[in-house]
Amino acid sequence: MSHAATPPVLVIHGGAGVIKRDLTPAKEKAIRAALTKALQDGYAQLKAGKDAVDAVSAAIVVLEDDPDFNAGRGAVFTHDGRNELDAAIMDGDSQGAGAVTGVTRIRNPILLARAVMEKTPYVMLSGAGAEVFAQSIGMPLVDPSYFRTEERWQQLQKALKEDAAGKSHADGETEKHFGTVGAVALDAQGHLAAGTSTGGMVDKRWGRIGDSPIIGAGTYANSDCAVSGTGWGEYYIRTVAAHAICMQVSEMRVPLKRAAAVVINQQIPALGGNGGAIALDAHGNIAIPFNTDGMYRGWIDASGVPHVAIYGDEDDGTSVPPAPAESTGDPDGQP
Ligand code: ASP
């Protein structure tokens, strides 16, 4: 279905989890600045008449390059001390999609996912093969050490200690999913796109792949709806979360906020999972439900003013007026 042109909208996330005591004021400031820059860079594409895929890619590249997020530089470590990156992108207009999994030498996995969508007959490439493809299109490889940050290394050490002490994911102190990045955009043509990029879960083993690069689970877009998820990926795969949200919107005409809340705040917790998502429909309505303490998030709509928030109870003090359930205003769909 095609929709009338609307003012462009961009929504981003930098992961769900966020425990207040973990954030120093300096770190919080840096994260807010990075989210703002991602919004500005992505929105600049939309303002220049570029499409939703361009905006999603530009916003995600900023966050992949920032070591404070679990994507690109700053990705979490696997159990074996490696950084294995996953990303996906989907164009809601054509329903074309591209994804890469388990890459270790790609600086911006979202750009490789996009190249898979645009330059191959495939949707998903993995590991070494994906890197051979990258080289074949002239995308330079980086040394795996590029992704290493001391903070993530210490996070792995903590998780390994918890493993040794027999703590499960649920009762371990280490947030094992945290900092994944994503974006959804609506361009001036009324077309939507979604993208997600992650290092996955700290301490992951055996080539584990989460929901982020799986079309329909962590990332999905069609002509009515675009979603990028973040959270405990196994539950997003089992609920086919992003697709489940969009199908309610597309097929059942459920309002976006309700559709997103059903999946994120009911279905996923009912199975024992947690996390959040950003969702956007073709009318510019935004939903950002999450069931964790907080979620790094931001949005920019017709006003052109970037809004950024972190905590669950946050009034970010911006000029967005309190909005009825289905409008672009503060879209926090809290439980
Ligand atoms: N969903 C990601 C995964 O399971 C992690 C995250 O969102 O933080 O790989």
Total count of domains within the chain: 1
Q: Which domain holds residue 218?
A: 9-311
- pTM of the predicted model over 0.75: yes
Residues 6+ apart with CB under 8 A from 215: 88, 90, 97, 99, 123, 124, 243
1 within domain boundaries: no
DSSP string, 78-147: PTTS---EEEEEEETTTTEEEEEEEESS-S-HHHHHHHHHHHSS-SEEEHHHHHHHHHHTTPPP--GGGG
**Total residue length of the chain:** 335
Element holding 297 (H helix, E strand): strand 294-300
Please tell me if the CB atom of residue 124 comes closer than 6 angstroms to any atom of ligand 1. no
330 within domain boundaries: no
106 within domain boundaries: yes
**Average pLDDT, integer, range 245-262:** 97
Please tell me if the CB atom of residue 197 comes closer than 6 angstroms to any atom of ligand 1. no
Q: Please give the number of the atom of ligand 1 that sits closest to the Cα of 232.
A: 4
Q: Give the model's pLDDT for residue 332.
A: 44
CB 267 within 8 A of CB 243: no
Taking the centre of ligand 1 as the mean of its atom positions, its distance from the CA of residue 39, in whole angstroms, is 21
CB environment 156-172: b (16+ within 10 A), e (fewer)? beebbebbeeeeebeeb
**To the nearest 10°, the Cα dihedral for 43, 74, 208, 125?**
50
Taking the centre of ligand 1 as the mean of its atom positions, its distance from the CA of residue 49, in whole angstroms, is 31
164 within domain boundaries: yes
**The token pair that represents 302 in the structure block:** 């017709």
48 within domain boundaries: yes
327 within domain boundaries: no
Q: What residues act catalytically? A: 180
Q: How many CB atoms lie within 10 A of CB 188?
A: 16
Q: Give the model's pLDDT for residue 106.
A: 98
> Using one digit for the tens of pLDDT, what is the confidence trace for 50-100?
999 999 999 999 999 999 999 999 999 999 999 999 999 999 999 999 999
- In the chain, the amino acid numbered 241 is A
- C-alpha distances (whole Å) from 2 to each of 54, 92, 278 are 19, 11, 22
| Whole-number Å distance between alpha carbons of 309 and 320 | 13
Taking the centre of ligand 1 as the mean of its atom positions, its distance from the CA of residue 23, in whole angstroms, is 20
Q: Give the model's pLDDT for residue 170.
A: 56
329 within domain boundaries: no
Q: Whose CA is nearest to atom 4 of ligand 1?
A: 233
Q: Please give the number of the atom of ligand 1 that sits closest to the Cα of 234.
A: 4
Taking the centre of ligand 1 as the mean of its atom positions, its distance from the CA of residue 240, in whole angstroms, is 14
CATH code, domain with 192: 3.60.20.30
Please tell me if the CB atom of residue 212 comes closer than 6 angstroms to any atom of ligand 1. yes
Q: Which residue has the higher pLDDT, 174 or 147?
A: 147
3 within domain boundaries: no
* Ligand 1, pocket-test mutation among 18, 69, 177, most atoms within 8 A of CB: 177
Q: Please give the number of the atom of ligand 1 that sits closest to the Cα of 209.
A: 9
Least confident of 6-20, 44-58, 113-127, 195-209: 6-20
**Average pLDDT, integer, range 278-297:** 95
